[in-house]
Amino acid sequence: MRFVFVDRILTLDPDRTIEILKNVAATEDVFDDHFPGYPILPGALVVETFEQASQLLIGMSHDFARVGRLCSVERAAFRQFVRPGDQLRVRCTRVAGDDEAWTVSASAEAGGRLAASATLHFALVEDEAHGERLRAAVRVLRGATIDPAGRGGQA
C-alpha cells in the first residue's frame, strides 16, 4: 500500500472484527486542494480507510494466505465532515461470508460521533505478494500502542 490510511490497530478478533485509528494530519497532501481555506477529508479516502482496515482483517484472519479484492461498496453514508486534527476510530465487522467472499460493515467515528459508514463486499483470493505486504504493515501497525484518550497509558 503506497498510501496507508491506518495508523494503528487497536483491536482484532480474527474472522470477525478489527478496530483501527486514522489520525487526520493537516499536512496531508489532499488538503492542498480539498478545499483551500476549509479542508475536508474526501469521502473516497474514508472509504479507502475502510478498505485498508478490512484488508488487514481478512489477511490476518487467513494468516495472509488469502487477501481481499474489493468488489463493491454499498450504502456509503457520510454524516459529518472529517477535518485536519480529527482522529478517526474505524471499526470493520464481518457480517457474512466464507472462504470465497466476505461482506464487511464499516463505520468511522470522529470525536465520538458517527462520521461515515458503508458495506463493503470482497472476493477472497490467494496473492502471496500482497499477503506479504500486509504482513509487513501489521508488524509496524501493531508495534507501539497509543492511548486514543490521551491519558498516556496503553489503549
- Using only the alpha carbons of the chain, give its radius of gyration: 15
Give the amino acid at 112.
G
**E-strand stretches of the chain:** 8-13, 17-23, 67-78, 87-97, 101-110, 113-125
Catalytic (active-site) positions = 34
- Which residues lie closer than 8 Å to 52 by C-beta, 6 or more apart? 1, 4, 5, 6
Cβ 141 vs Cβ 133: under 8 Å: no
